[in-house]
């Protein structure tokens, strides 16, 4: 995926379907964190571009890191006046963890289909069985369509509930 935005469509749909269970914020943050590694590798001409964080082991570390950052931010928010951007304060650890897990693991799956340099099962196996499993145009359309469906679900909920959508 070209630096993350297509990943947000499936995340938006997961959040739209289960807003009280899945944090879209942590879903997106996990995706961005994973792609920061690729950005670093591109800027420094390192190969493979999609390296450790694009494995299930690396993604698991990202999930744990997201949960730790959330807990630290929550503790710091009690002592300092941290901004309440994107309504993060009422999120529970379960929502954050689930959003990060869905974001990180779906990122590995989607990028495994798209990029031949990913070995998602490292250090256990040096292969990528998903590479080119479906055409890139179908992958992009599925991600875009899931984002559009999410917008429709959220808009419907907003109109039905009078503008009170869950985080």
Residues 6+ apart with CB under 8 A from 112: 54, 118, 120, 128, 130, 131
pTM over 0.95: no
Residues 6+ apart with CB under 8 A from 87: 167
Question: Which tokens is 61 given?
Answer: 């570390």
pLDDT, tens digit (0-9, with 9 covering 90-100), for 97-148: 999 999 999 999 999 999 999 999 999 999 999 999 999 999 999 999 999 9
Question: Which tokens is 78 given?
Answer: 């009690």
Strands, E assignment, the chain: none
Question: Which tokens is 33 given?
Answer: 């964190």
């Amino acid at each position: 995926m070209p630096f993350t935005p297509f990943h947000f469509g499936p995340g938006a749909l997961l959040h739209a379907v289960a807003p009280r269970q899945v944090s879209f914020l942590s879903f997106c943050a996990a995706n961005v964190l994973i792609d920061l590694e690729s950005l670093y590798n591109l800027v420094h001409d390192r190969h493979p571009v999609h390296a450790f964080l694009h494995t299930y082991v690396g993604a698991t570390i990202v999930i744990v890191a997201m949960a730790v950052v959330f807990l630290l931010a929550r503790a710091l928010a009690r002592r300092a006046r941290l901004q309440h951007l994107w309504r993060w304060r009422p999120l529970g650890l379960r929502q954050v963890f689930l959003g990060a897990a869905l974001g990180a693991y779906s990122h590995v799956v989607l990028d495994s289909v798209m990029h031949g340099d990913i070995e998602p099962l490292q250090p256990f196996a040096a292969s990528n069985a998903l590479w080119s499993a479906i055409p890139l145009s179908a992958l992009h359309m599925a991600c875009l369509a899931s984002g559009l469906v999410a917008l429709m679900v959220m808009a419907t909920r907003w109109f039905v509930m009078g503008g009170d959508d869950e985080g």
